[in-house]
Amino acid sequence: MALCSHFPDCGGCRFADIPYLDQLPIKQGLFEEALPKIYHSLIQPVVPSERHRFHRNKMEFSVFNGDDGHINLGLKRQGRWDQCVPTPDCQLLDERWAEVSRWLAVELTELGLAPYDQKTHFGILRYVIVRRSEHQAAWMINFVVAADVYESLLPVAIQLRIRFPWVSGVMMSIQSTVSDTAYTDDVRCLDGVGELIESIGSKRYRVSPYSFFQTNSSQAFHLYRIALELAAPLPSDRLLDLYCGAATIGIFFSDHVKSVLGVEASPSSIEDAHFNIALNQAEGVTVREGKVKNILKFERPEAEIVVVDPPRSGLEPKALRRSAETGASRIVYVSCNPKTLGRDLPMYEAEGYSVSTIRPVDMFPHSPHLEAVALLRKS
C-alpha cells in the first residue's frame, strides 16, 4: 500500500508505494550508476533518514482551479508540468497541513482572485510556500502572486494567524514574470514576522522566505556531522567554505577550527550569513560576497580544509581549479547531484587529489534523490 492517498497521481513521491527500507538499495543503485565505476568501491551504504513522514521543512504548493471550479492547493501531476493534483493529505510537510490546506482553499476561493494559468499567463495566485522550524515549532507561509494584491490578502493573513497560532508569519511575494518559478526579490510581510530560526545541532540559523536551507532539518545534522567527521579538523586549521549560502556549514565547523572564510554570490544569503554569525557568536567566521572563482582568483586565500557545497550544476571549472590551488590537504565535497559529482571528482584528481570515500545521505525519503559527502586528500 502506498504511503500517501495522492499516489500515483501526484509527482511528489515516486517511491511512495515501496517500504522505506526497501527504497534504500534502489537509491544506492541509482547513485552508483551516476558515478564512474572507478569510484564504486569507495561508496559507503546510504545513511537512512531518521524520519520517513512529515520530515520536510519546506514545501511549494501550486494554486489552481479544481474540477469543481474551486481553488485547490497541490503539487504537479506525475509527468505533467501543466497539471496539478490537490494534496491536502501530503505526508511530507506536517500532519497539520491537511487542516490548513483545506481552510486556505475555501478562503482563497471566496477571495475571488484567479489562480495564475501558466499557459495563458492570466491570473494572480501562483504558489503557497510553507516553511517550518522544528526549533521554534513555527511556520511561515508565503503567498506568491503575479501582482500586488496586498489589501486583498491582508485579511486572509490575519485570520490565518488567528486560526492557526503556530503560523508566526505570513508573506506576500510578487512574481510578475512568465517564468514558472516562485522566486522573486519583491517580498513583503503581511502579518507577523518574516523569518524563522531553525537549529542544526547546537547551532541556530535564520530562515528567510527564500533562504537556502536543507529541507530535512534533522537529517541535515547527520549530513554536516559526516562532513565534519571526514574533514577531521585540527584546532589550528583554516576552513574555506565555498558556496557557503547562509554560512550553515562554516558555523557548524566553527568550534573545531581556527577560522572560517565563507564565499557566496547571493547578497540575501550573505545577509543571512552575517545574522547567523552574530546569532551564534561565531567570531572566527567571516564571509565574502562574490563568485567563488573571482574571490579565489583575487584574494588567493589559503586553507587546510576546503568545503564545497555547489548547486546542482556542480563546480565551475575555474572555481574547482582555484579551490585546489589553495593548498588544502582535504577537500570535502557536499553534493546534491551525483552526475555533477561524478564529473567533478576526476577533475580534482587531475589537480593532485585522490578520492578517499563517498557517503550518500538520504535527505529525501520516497524520492530517488540522495545528498552525498565525498572526501578528497592531497596526493
Q: 238 and 373, same structural domain?
A: yes
Q: 115 and 27, same structural domain?
A: no
Q: Is residue 40 part of a domain?
A: yes
Asked whether residue 83 carries a pLDDT value surpassing 90, the answer given is no
Confidence of residue 64 (pLDDT cuts 50, 70, 90): very high
Q: 240 and 91, same structural domain?
A: no
Mean pLDDT of 149-155: 97
Q: 158 and 136, same structural domain?
A: yes
The per-residue pLDDT for 79 is 86
* Poorest-pLDDT segment among 68-77, 94-103, 167-176: 68-77
Mean pLDDT of 3-15: 90
Cα gap 379→376, rounded to integer Å: 9
Residue with C-alpha cell 596526493? 379
- 162 Cβ partners below 8 Å, 6+ apart? none
Q: 27 and 172, same structural domain?
A: no
Asked whether residue 233 carries a pLDDT value surpassing 90, the answer given is yes
Cα gap 344→338, rounded to integer Å: 10
Write out the residue range of the structural domain in which residue 136 sits.
58-193
For residue 287, what is the domain's CATH number? 3.40.50.150
The per-residue pLDDT for 21 is 96
Q: 366 and 230, same structural domain?
A: yes
Q: 229 and 184, same structural domain?
A: no
pLDDT digit string, tens, across residues 299-348: 999 999 999 999 999 999 999 999 999 999 999 999 999 999 999 999 99
Computed from CA positions of residues 271, 249, 305, 315, in that sequence, does the dihedral angle turn out positive or negative? negative
Q: 229 and 155, same structural domain?
A: no
The per-residue pLDDT for 161 is 98
Cα gap 273→125, rounded to integer Å: 31
Mean pLDDT of 282-300: 97
Q: Is residue 12 part of a domain?
A: no
How deeply is 349 buried, as exposed, middle or buried, from its count of CB atoms within 10 A (0-12, 13-18, 19+)? Answer: middle
Number of domains in the chain: 2
Q: Is residue 11 part of a domain?
A: no
Task: Calculate the average pLDDT of the chain.
Answer: 96
* 112 φψ region: left (φ > 0), alpha (ψ -120 to 50), beta (else): left
Q: 231 and 94, same structural domain?
A: no
Mean pLDDT of 173-179: 94
SS3 string of the chain?
CCCCCCCCCECCCCCCCCCHHHHHHHHHHHHHHHCCHHHHHHECCCECCCCCCCCCCEEEEEEEECCCCCEEEEEEECCCCCCEEECCCCCCCCCCHHHHHHHHHHHHHHHCCCECCCCCCCCCEEEEEEEEECCCCEEEEEEEECCCCHHHHHHHHHHHHHHCCCEEEEEEEECCCCCCCCCCCCEEEEEECCCEEEEECCEEEEECCCCCCCCCHHHHHHHHHHHHHHHCCCCCCEEEEECCCCCHHHHHHHHHCCEEEEEECCHHHHHHHHHHHHHCCCCCEEEEECCHHHHHHHHCCCCCEEEECCCCCCCCHHHHHHHHCCCCCEEEEEECCHHHHHHHHHHHHHCCEEEEEEEEECCCCCCCCCEEEEEEEEC
For residue 69, what is the domain's CATH number? 2.40.50.1070
The larger pLDDT score, comparing residue 179 to residue 278, is at 278
Q: 224 and 265, same structural domain?
A: yes
Q: 244 and 286, same structural domain?
A: yes
Cα gap 332→340, rounded to integer Å: 15
The per-residue pLDDT for 80 is 86
Asked whether residue 2 carries a pLDDT value surpassing 90, the answer given is no
Q: Is residue 9 part of a domain?
A: no
Mean pLDDT of 348-366: 97
Q: 294 and 225, same structural domain?
A: yes
The per-residue pLDDT for 67 is 81
The per-residue pLDDT for 69 is 83
Q: Provide the percentage of residues in the chain whose pLDDT is more than 90.
A: 93
pLDDT digit string, tens, across residues 93-144: 999 999 999 999 999 999 999 999 988 999 999 999 999 999 999 999 999 9
Q: Is residue 109 part of a domain?
A: yes
